[in-house]
Amino acid sequence: MNSKTNRANHIILRVEGLKKYFPVRRGFFQKIAAWNKAVDGVSFEIQQGKTLGLVGESGCGKTTVARLILKLLESDAGKIVFRGTDISKLAENDMKLYRKDMQIVFQDPYGSLNPRMTVGLSIEEGLRILGIKNAPKRKERLEKLLQMVGMSPESADRYPHEFSGGQRQRIGIARALSVEPLLIICDEPVSALDVSIQAQIINLLKDLQDRLGLSYLFISHDLNVVGYLCNTIAVMYKGCIMEFAPAEQLFENPRHPYTISLLAAIPDPEPGNTPDLHLPERDLPDSSIPIFGCSFQGRCTLEETRCREERTTLAQVGEEHFVRCWKAAQNKIPKVS
Amino acid sequence: MTNDTLLSVKDLKVYFPAGDGIARAVDGVSFEVRRDETVCLVGESGCGKTVSALSILRLNPVPPAEIAGGRIMFDGQSLLKLDEESMRRLRGKHIAMVFQEPLTSLNPVFTIGDQIGEAVSIHENIGTEALHRRCVQLLKSVGMPFPEQRLKDYPHQLSGGQRQRVMIAMALACAPRLIIADEPTTALDVTVQAQILQLFKSIQKKRSMSLLYITHDLGVVANIADRVYVMYAGAIVEQGNTVQIFRHACHPYTQGLLASLPSRLKRGKRLYSIPGVVPNPAFKPKGCPFHPRCPYAEPVCREEFPEMCDYGDGHLARCPVLFDKRDL
Ligand SMILES: Nc1ncnc2c1ncn2[C@@H]1O[C@H](COP(=O)(O)OP(=O)(O)OP(=O)(O)O)[C@@H](O)[C@H]1O
Ligand SMILES: Nc1ncnc2c1ncn2[C@@H]1O[C@H](COP(=O)(O)OP(=O)(O)O)[C@@H](O)[C@H]1O
Ligand code: SF4
Ligand code: SF4
Ligand SMILES: [Mg+2]
Ligand SMILES: [Mg+2]
């Protein structure tokens, strides 16, 4: 087996040219006035047992990408190749085969747990889906799952509101694990938590990955968390991936002007380590005005005429390092080995 | 208290009824803010930051809140003793507040111009022309693009960052001596947060103003603070300047918080995590409220509420156990 196919075998998920446009309706007749290009040609891949971080500011399309992959939302274009099969066009019935292999953990576990169901019943649902019909067996699995996420077996008989935010997040993780998934999409799983609890959940996710060989798509806007946890990072802006690189690369040698401004904006918990920033004073430009060329225009300090006249492409600038900016790509010619 | 002190809060206690008992949300908090200084009050959610801040302006509804003790001095005046009329004059004019949620604190049915204008004219009597010029200039001073047009906009037409700029413009309207900002960037993206922090710094460079900045984000603290107060379960557990707190933390809770921060430099290493959770203020453990989570706890910690220990140069920590071990 050559190294290329070997690598392909280790890719659990690959998305290619994923698109989702939402109609923007206006006026009395609610006519479609414009399209909100929430996801506009997103491509990336996740290696088995590894974590891909998807970062970007609010509204850039991260959650929409997650919902497209899980087929909670129909994509307008693109491929979603999961374990070698393109699931993007699969009918709901055929999807069943894959559903249980992909799970999601949300930012607000409260909203995703049924408040009228005990924690035990919520988690057991997954075990039924797995086809474990024998009740004592299910109970045994349930206890094991709770133990895995650091909760006592008694928790099973209590209701979601009786738990703290961190505990509910553990329950959400236990429920995701119940169907023995291969990939877990984590959408801002620690953003709502306090630092001391955040560390507990991050450690838990890491332990589970080591033990079960899970792959994660980890969505966050916190670069400190992503930098700690992820193997590769995709930086998203207005529906497009602007830069994609191994985590160390992205932090050591960021190439896209947007990535550079994001990194500069991380509050650093070391006093004196925060030089005055030279961020553009402008806020996000109005997204309903259609623009041609690079979507970072209007906020980029390096913008030139060409940025507004040419369609952008993702250019390779290093091994597994891609950037969507002609200037960044030209500065240094890709060092492909 | 030095001559330099603008605000001093001493042994403040704010309680709430909680079922059969009482929630001691703020339980003996003392801190001070000097002239032109930025002070951060940092702690995890529920530790009493907002209740402390609201008490300064007497914005905690009484009841249910009960001010069970303490003294708040602002520029020689005792705020808890002030009559309601004097308090109203003080709010906005000398002390202004910026909240976490700019959308809920702006009125949706009035334009930005109306609201900034209102903030100015409460305390000042100026003509329409002059008022308009003031509003434009205020919006300009907070880095708002196209200030003239923005005055006609309604709050929902602005982004979160722009709304927070409007709130800051309103806070600045009467050139207050102190701004209290309660998690003003928590709901914003990092890049916008960085802009707002930069804005506070540049305002302070231009004119004399103190800032009491409340946050749960230690990264923000390091970026903006001159001095820091760390809060846990309704009390200050450590205080000092930024270098003392971040490089030489002396309280196990502060140490734990810093150790549990993720960063790319800790990749591959396990994050330290403080076991357990923040106690409910109605059921605080006896003794040191941190003892069930503390790796250094000794029997005495379960019995006695710890004293503040003085490490010199304004660095204090509420942990006699580590204080006794300091030179070992
Ligand atoms: N069902 C929908 N109908 C119409 N527009 C939508 C829908 N879902 C999302 N959008 C729009 O798509 C864009 C991307 O939204 P998305 O939720 O993916 O952002 P996000 O990156 O997850 O942001 P956040 O960090 O705030 O969670 C936004 O402009 C949003 O308003
Ligand atoms: N109006 C209220 N009634 C009862 N309890 C309250 C009220 N306001 C705050 N508390 C309680 O006081 C404690 C401190 O709250 P707060 O100051 O808002 O914390 P934070 O540090 O997150 O700002 C919390 O336990 C909270 O539940
Ligand atoms: S293409 Fe132009 S506008 Fe876009 S990021 Fe590069 S330099 Fe900036
Ligand atoms: S007083 Fe005791 S319990 Fe409290 S922080 Fe110090 S060692 Fe820990
Ligand atoms: Mg989202
Ligand atoms: Mg608060």
The DSSP line for A247-269 is HHHHHHS--SHHHHHHHHTSPPS
Q: Residue with structure tokens 């993702």?
A: A314
Q: What is the pLDDT of residue B299?
A: 96
Cβ–ligand 3 distance for A325 under 6 Å, the answer yes
Q: Which residues of A touch B263 (CB under 8 A)?
A: 224, 227-228, 269
pTM: 0.85
Rg (CA), chain A: 21
**Which one has a higher pLDDT value, A291 or B137?**
B137
**A134 to chain B, closest Cα gap in Å:** 35
**Chain B closest-CA separation from residue A196 CA (Å):** 6
- The number of angstroms, rounded, from the C-alpha of A243 to the middle of its chain's C-alpha atoms is 14
Residue A309: CA count within 13 A, CB half-sphere: 3
Q: φ and ψ at B191, to 5 degrees?
A: -70, -40
Q: Which atom of ligand 4 is nearest to the CA of B237?
A: 5
Please state the separation of Cα A152 from the chain's center in Å.
Answer: 30
- pLDDT of B232 over the 50 cut: yes
Candidates A304, A143, A328; CA nearest to A242 is A328
Q: Which ligand neighbours the alpha carbon of B62 most closely?
A: 2
pLDDT at B1 over 60: no
Minimum Cα–Cα distance from B228: chain A residue: A271
Q: Which residues of B touch A276 (CB under 8 A)?
A: 198, 201
- Asked if residue A41 lies in contact with residue A18, where contact means CB atoms within 8 angstroms, the answer is yes
Distances (CA, A) of B66 to B29, B58, B214: 15, 11, 22
Domains with residue ranges and CATH for chain A? 2-101+181-329 (3.40.50.300)
Summarize pLDDT for B280-304 with one digit per residue, the tens: 888 889 999 999 999 999 999 999 9
Place of tokens 């540049």: B202
Nearest-Cα residue of chain B relative to residue A260: B191
Torsion angle of alpha carbons A198, A200, A203, A204, nearest 10°?
Answer: -110
Q: Pick from B160, B216, B223: which is nearest to A274 by CB?
A: B223
- A300 Cβ closer than 6 Å to some ligand 3 atom: yes
Q: Which helix (H) or strand (E) holds B88?
A: helix B84-90
Ligand 5 centre and the CA of B260: distance in Å?
24
Q: Give the nearest ligand 2 atom to B51 CA.
A: 17
Compute, in angstroms, the gap from residue B220 CA to the centroid of ligand 6. 15
Q: Is the dihedral of CA A195, A275, B100, B59 positive or negative?
A: positive
CB-neighbour burial class of residue B289 (10 A; exposed 0-12, middle 13-18, buried 19+): buried
Question: Percent helix, strand, coil in chain A (nearest 5)?
Answer: 35, 25, 40
Share of chain B above pLDDT 90, in %: 54
Mean pLDDT for all residues in chain A? 85
How far is residue B131 from each of residues B117, B137, B158, measured CA to CA in Å?
6, 10, 22
Q: Spell out which residues of chain A touch residue B256, defining contact as CB-CB under 8 Å.
A: 196
**Could A272 and B243 be called an inter-chain contact, meaning their C-beta atoms sit closer than 8 Å?**
yes
Stretch A65-93: mean pLDDT, rounded?
92
Centre of ligand 6 from the C-alpha of residue B222, in Å: 19
Number of Cβ within a 10 Å radius of residue B292: 15
Q: Is A278 on the interface with B (CB under 8 A)?
A: no
Atom 6, ligand 3: residue with shortest CA distance: A325
Residue B242, H or E segment: helix B242-247
**Regarding predicted confidence, which is higher, B187 or A211?**
A211
pLDDT digit string (tens) for A140-191? 999 999 988 888 888 899 998 888 778 888 899 999 999 889 999 999 888 8
| B238, B256 Cβ separation under 8 angstroms | no
Kindly report the nearest CA distance between residue A112 and chain B, in angstroms. Answer: 21
In this predicted model, what pLDDT tens digit does every residue of A12-36 receive, in sequence order?
999 999 999 988 887 778 888 788 8
Q: What is the pLDDT of residues A276-332, one digit of tens each?
A: 444 444 455 455 555 789 989 888 888 889 999 988 999 999 999 999 999 999 874
Residues of B in contact with A195 (CB under 8 A): 44, 216, 218, 257, 260-261
Shortest distance between the Cα of B244 and any Cα of chain A, in A, equals 10
Cβ contacts (< 8 Å) between B246 and chain A: which residues? 269-271
User: Above 60 in pLDDT, residue A272?
Assistant: no
Average pLDDT, chain B: 90
Residue A60 beta carbon below 6 angstroms from any ligand 1 atom: yes
- B250 CB near ligand 4 (under 6 Å): no
Q: Is A237 in the pocket of ligand 3 (CB under 6 A)?
A: no
Mutate to test the interface with A, among B45, B245, B264, B273 (most CBs of A within 10 A): B264
Q: From the CA atom positions of chain B, what is the Rg in Å? A: 21
ipTM greater than cut 0.90: no
CA–CA gap between residue B316 and residue B323 (Å, rounded): 10
User: Using one digit for the tens of pLDDT, what is the confidence trace for A187-242?
Assistant: 988 887 888 888 989 999 999 999 999 999 999 988 999 999 999 999 999 999 99
Quick one: which atom of ligand 1 is closest to the CA of A236?
21
* Mean pLDDT of all residues in B128-156: 88
Contact B193 A272 (CB under 8 A): no
Q: Is A301 on the interface with B (CB under 8 A)?
A: no
State whether residue A15 is helix, strand or coil. strand
Q: CA-to-CA distance for A321 and A30, rounded, in angstroms?
A: 43
Judged by CB atoms within 8 Å, which residues 238-257 of A form the interface with B?
A: 247-248, 251
Ion ligand 5: residues, CB within 5 A, are A 63
Which residues of B fall within a CB distance of 8 Å from A166?
A: 277
- What does the pLDDT look like over B78-131, one tens digit per residue? 999 999 999 988 888 899 999 877 666 788 889 999 999 988 888 888 899 999
**How many of the other CB atoms lie within 10 Å of CB of B326?**
10
Interface subset of A 214-233, CB within 8 angstroms of B:
221-225, 227-229
Give per-residue pLDDT as tens, A33-60: 788 889 999 999 999 999 999 999 888 8
**pLDDT for the residue A332:** 46
- Whether B296 lines ligand 4, by a CB cut-off of 6 Å, is yes
Judging contacts by C-beta atoms under 8 Å, the chain B residues touching residue A205 are none
Q: Write the DSSP string, A43-96.
A: EEEEETT-EEEEE--TTSSHHHHHHHHTTSS--SEEEEEETTEE-TT--HHHHH
* Helical packing angle, A195-212 and A165-177, nearest 10°: 10
Bigger pLDDT: B59 or A273?
A: B59
List helix spans (H) across chain A: 3-9, 62-69, 92-99, 109-112, 119-129, 135-148, 165-177, 195-212, 223-229, 247-252, 257-264, 305-309, 326-331
Burial category of A1 from C-beta neighbours within 10 Å (exposed 0-12, middle 13-18, buried 19 and up): exposed
- Number of Cβ pairs < 8 A linking chain A and chain B: 129
- Alpha carbon distance A37, A240 (integer Å): 9
Could A279 and B143 be called an inter-chain contact, meaning their C-beta atoms sit closer than 8 Å?
no
Average pLDDT of span A100-114: 81
Atom of ligand 4 nearest to the CA of B298: 2
In the three-class reduction of DSSP (H, G, I as helix; E, B as strand; rest coil), residue A110 is classed as helix
